[in-house]
Structure 1
């Protein structure tokens, strides 16, 4: 018996979805929620065991899912993911979620190593670039009567400009710009684009990233105090995508920061720098 529920006929209901970074955190939450909405899910992750675990959780609950190992920093892997998904769905996917990402922070520009820059940008920025490069043409060519969409997971760091997080900030700012440009290019095609920009989400990204001990402690404290669960973030983002929203900022602090930054960017940036010095001193 399928325990997953079915909702109203929207883009995220009954979707044939491909999700990167689906082995844990927000990616796993996306996968499980889409299955609850009656969708079929291709769960991909660099760690094939965690991807398989997410797919198994869906199948055990009566849903439909499969897993694929994919390193989003490698274009050949993303191309192979698209081919595997198209074969498994017996047609094009209708929803692609470029979610795979890593964390880094705690060192200033000029002190952070170029290896860290390359690692972060390779996954956080080139991953979504590869995903959009491969899947956007597939969605354009797909059956227009089926709702189609792309969700790119950015972050409030895309506009937050927090000191000590340059590589992460730059990667997420690129994802936000990528999403805005893609939305403009796909205008009128029926393909929706949403950029997810959360602040703190209760996932393991801090522990698994390249983050200094001091920054890890601060992030852990803020995550406990203000962080949303990945399930709540995934649901909010999918509902925003159904409404046709380009930006999804699930937490109030992200929306407030976005508004202040847009209207008083110089004041905002100075305030962030001063606040960070006080917080970390």
Structure 2
């Protein structure tokens, strides 16, 4: 498919826009001439993002939305269309939370439900509500923020892995369903990005400290990830693996899946006791 420049002058909705990758997406879209709905469960942080965009001469509006609730997402599209005075042509299902540090069977069911409610059901709700409108419009795009966790299957990250793997499967399904419609679908699968997900998630203290250290050392800036992903969407690329380690994990898992799993298990056995 020819390059569509979907990200230029988009009428966009970004969930989880109050910080991190979501804020970076919103700012980059505004810089490209778009009008942006900044949705977040925390209205105050969404308004901070809007203030940053307006200060740079962009156009944005904040809306509170709990993506785990279908009614909230249905209200989001109505409010977005009202503020935009027209249809949304780009949706970024970015809202997500971290959960991990415990093996399957020890992680509380409440943490499973919390992680799946936001990371998976939030993406399902976003696609369910916006995809039919985009089909009718006949143009635009959907970006689902997945993770390298969607295929890496690292131990002690069961709830997070499952939520992101399902979000990737949904993205692949939607991409196939949207083929030939003029709607591009992109799945973003990064490794470490400098955000607050480890600090704000439900993660054991040891795992949270380790993740924070790795983010500080090798984590990509969210602005870099947002720009790379929007450029990929414009080229109708389904998969975006912005970092070298993400691409290496992707290839290793597919070339030698059983060996990869044993290696991950050995790492967990010898390193897990310190987490």
Superposition TM-score tier, normalisation by shorter sequence: over 0.9
Distance in 2 of aligned mates of 1:56 and 1:80: 23
Q: Is the 8 A contact 2:4 2:235 kept in 1?
A: no
Cα deviations by residue, 1:85-141 (Å, 9 ceiling, x for unpaired): 111111111100000000011000000010000000000000000000000001111
Q: Is the 8 A contact 2:149 2:160 kept in 1?
A: yes
Shift of 1:273: 1.5
Q: What secondary structure, in the 3-state scheme, does the structure 2 residue paired with 1:13 have?
A: coil
Distance in 1 of aligned mates of 2:260 and 2:191: 16
Q: Name the residue aligned to 1:89.
A: 84
Q: Name the residue aligned to 1:195.
A: 187
Q: What secondary structure, in the 3-state scheme, does the structure 1 residue paired with 2:135 have?
A: helix
Q: What secondary structure, in the 3-state scheme, does the structure 1 residue paired with 2:107 have?
A: coil
Name which of 28, 31, 38 aligns with 2:33. Answer: 38
Q: What secondary structure, in the 3-state scheme, does the structure 1 residue paired with 2:160 have?
A: helix
Name which of 75, 78, 101 aligns with 1:80. Answer: 75
Is structure 2 residue 267 aligned with structure 1 residue 272? no
Shift of 1:9: 6.8
State how 1:8-27 maps to structure 2 within 5 Å: 10-27=5-22
Distance in 1 of aligned mates of 2:82 and 2:178: 25
Q: What secondary structure, in the 3-state scheme, does the structure 1 residue paired with 2:96 have?
A: coil
Distance in 1 of aligned mates of 2:14 and 2:125: 13
Cα deviations by residue, 1:30-83 (Å, 9 ceiling, x for unpaired): 000000100000000000000111011111211111000000000000000000
Cα deviations by residue, 1:209-237 (Å, 9 ceiling, x for unpaired): 00001101211121122210111111111
Q: Is the 8 A contact 2:199 2:212 kept in 1?
A: no
Taking structure 2 as the reference length, the TM-score comes to 0.96
Residue range with higher mean Cα deviation, 262-271 or 216-225: 216-225
Distance in 1 of aligned mates of 2:56 and 2:144: 27
Q: What secondary structure, in the 3-state scheme, does the structure 1 residue paired with 2:217 have?
A: helix
- Structure 1: 5+ residue runs without aligned partners? 1-7
Distance in 2 of aligned mates of 1:76 and 1:65: 22
Name which of 115, 120, 124 aligns with 1:129. Answer: 124
Is structure 2 residue 213 aligned with structure 1 residue 221? yes
Name which of 105, 116, 120 aligns with 2:100. Answer: 105
Aligned residue pair count: 271
Taking structure 1 as the reference length, the TM-score comes to 0.94
Distance in 2 of aligned mates of 1:182 and 1:9: 18
| Root-mean-square deviation over aligned CA pairs | 1.1
- Structure 2: 5+ residue runs without aligned partners? none
Q: Name the residue aligned to 1:204.
A: 196
Distance in 1 of aligned mates of 2:254 and 2:202: 30
Distance in 2 of aligned mates of 1:34 and 1:182: 23
Distance in 2 of aligned mates of 1:240 and 1:271: 31
Distance in 2 of aligned mates of 1:183 and 1:9: 16
Q: Name the residue aligned to 2:143.
A: 151
Distance in 2 of aligned mates of 1:218 and 1:25: 19
